[in-house]
């Protein structure tokens, strides 16, 4: 069977399915605040379709952010949000501009919508030069600019001022993926009132530690939200996810404590890796990016039940390790100490 041209060479995105004792390869959170809850009370009706607009959930998200719910769309992870943005705004052969390396799903969705993802290379230390992006923007006139901030997999964070510099210079849609923003400061939320072309993506998969329920959302001005709602499937978010999302937000007060723990562990793992002479990059997220010339590091580690993320091609010999519980991080560090 012949598929459409744009995805002929696209490979299926297959997350690791290796068995594990310690999982540090996908940046999932550890704040199991809901684990002892009995979620489904009598008033929970499985026979009815879910609320197609996720109204109550969006109201709670709005309260958490200090944003009107009319500026929010919720769905199956920020992955669905990226899909919806492309579905609504990107035509065949349009250009999408980003920094590279970055989150690989931007490339996948660009392909699916027959668009051209153009990457501005990061500097040698994986910081980025905003002026280079602005220059490229002038040259190619992209339909969408997508910025992952803090960036996955490098952990590098761009300042609010520098993102504003981009917004001042472009009329393209500027999407800022803030999947890891809870682990740092510098959200673009307060800039929504100043820019009609700004879209912010958020997720429950990381700091909120609910990757398993698939819940993400976007925040933008109503003009953009209205367009997104035209292409969103009805009932895109199931009742169980909406319900758990609301319950999680009721307990958002624990977030600060968890984030503090992650940051403390992040600095500890950073220092440990540095003391072993790896090239380690400062991270604003819940993972650390590093370079190691040890052969097959992630493969051999996986044989011992510890999963970290390895990369290929331009990022050969680079790895990303999530910050887990203290004991998990210890096991990772002990493993590496044992082989060097
Ligand atoms: C993990 C991650 C997400 C979250 O995706 P979900 O579909 O919400 O789980 C989004 N963007 C980036 C850059 C990520 O690393």
Ligand 1 lined by 286 (C-beta under 6 Å): no
pLDDT of the residue at 224: 98
Ligand 1 lined by 242 (C-beta under 6 Å): no
Ligand 1 lined by 179 (C-beta under 6 Å): yes
Closest residue by CA, ligand 1 atom 12:
179
Closest residue by CA, ligand 1 atom 11:
179
Cα separation, 332 vs 23, whole angstroms: 10
- pLDDT, tens digit, 9 for 90 and up, residues 19-55: 999 999 999 999 977 776 656 666 667 788 999 999 9
Which region holds residue 67: left if phi is over 0, alpha if psi is between -120 and 50, else beta?
Answer: beta
Local structure of 48: helix, strand or coil: coil
User: What are the E-state strand segments in 38-166?
Assistant: 72-75, 95-100, 116-121, 144-148
Q: Are 119 and 99 in contact (CB under 8 A)?
A: yes
- pLDDT, tens digit, 9 for 90 and up, residues 105-138: 999 999 999 999 999 999 999 999 999 999 999 9
Three-state SS string over 220-235 comes to: ECHHHHHHHHHHCCCC
Which string of DSSP letters, residue by residue, matches 133-193?
Answer: HHHHHHHH--SEEEEESSPTTT-----HHHHHHHHHH--SEEEEE-TTGGGSS--SGGGGG
pLDDT of the residue at 47: 84
Q: Residue 128 burial by CB count (10 A; 0-12/13-18/19+): exposed, middle or buried? A: buried
Which stretches in the chain have pLDDT values below 50?
none
Q: Are 143 and 96 in contact (CB under 8 A)?
A: yes
Closest residue by CA, ligand 1 atom 2:
179
Closest residue by CA, ligand 1 atom 3:
179
pLDDT of the residue at 109: 98
pLDDT of the residue at 38: 58
pLDDT of the residue at 117: 98
Closest by CA to 138, choosing from 110, 172, 106, is: 172
- pLDDT, tens digit, 9 for 90 and up, residues 197-211: 999 999 999 999 999
Cα separation, 33 vs 27, whole angstroms: 17
pLDDT of the residue at 17: 87
Local structure of 316: helix, strand or coil: coil
The ligand 1 atom nearest the CA atom of 211: 9
The ligand 1 atom nearest the CA atom of 215: 8
Q: Give the chain's radius of gyration (CA, Å).
A: 20
Q: At what angle do helices 222-231 and 77-89 cross, to 10 degrees?
A: 90
Q: Are 308 and 321 in contact (CB under 8 A)?
A: yes
Ligand 1 lined by 154 (C-beta under 6 Å): no
């Amino acid at each position: 069977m012949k598929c459409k041209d744009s995805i002929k060479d696209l490979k299926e995105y297959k997350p690791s399915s290796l068995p594990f004792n310690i999982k540090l390869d996908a940046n999932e959170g550890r704040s199991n605040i809901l684990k002892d809850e009995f979620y489904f009370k009598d008033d929970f009706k499985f026979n009815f379709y879910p609320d197609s607009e996720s109204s109550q959930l969006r109201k709670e998200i709005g309260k958490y952010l200090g944003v009107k719910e009319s500026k929010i769309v919720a769905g199956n992870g920020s992955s669905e949000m990226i899909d919806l943005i492309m579905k609504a705004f990107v035509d065949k052969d349009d250009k999408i501009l980003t920094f590279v390396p970055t989150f690989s799903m931007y490339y996948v969705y660009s392909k699916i919508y027959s668009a051209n993802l153009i990457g501005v290379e990061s500097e040698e230390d994986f910081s980025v030069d905003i002026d280079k992006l602005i220059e490229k923007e002038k040259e190619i006139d992209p339909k969408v600019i997508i910025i992952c901030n803090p960036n996955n997999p490098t952990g590098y964070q761009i300042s609010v001022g520098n993102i504003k510099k981009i917004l001042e210079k472009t009329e393209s849609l500027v999407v800022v993926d803030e999947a890891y923003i809870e682990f740092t400061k510098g959200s673009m939320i307060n800039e929504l009132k100043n820019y009609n072309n700004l879209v912010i993506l958020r997720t429950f998969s990381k700091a909120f530690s609910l990757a398993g329920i698939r819940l993400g959302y976007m925040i933008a001005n109503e003009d953009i939200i209205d367009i997104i709602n035209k292409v969103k499937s009805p009932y895109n978010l199931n009742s169980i996810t909406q319900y758990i999302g609301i319950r999680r937000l009721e307990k958002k007060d624990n977030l600060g404590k968890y984030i503090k723990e992650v940051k403390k562990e992040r600095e500890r793992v950073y220092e440990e890796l540095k003391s072993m002479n790896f090239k380690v990059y400062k991270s604003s997220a819940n993972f650390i990016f590093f370079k190691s010339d040890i052969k097959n590091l992630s493969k051999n580690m996986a044989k011992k039940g510890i999963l970290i993320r390895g990369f290929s091609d331009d990022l050969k010999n680079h790895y990303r390790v999530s910050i887990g519980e203290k004991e998990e991080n210890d096991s990772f560090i002990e493993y590496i100490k044992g082989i060097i």
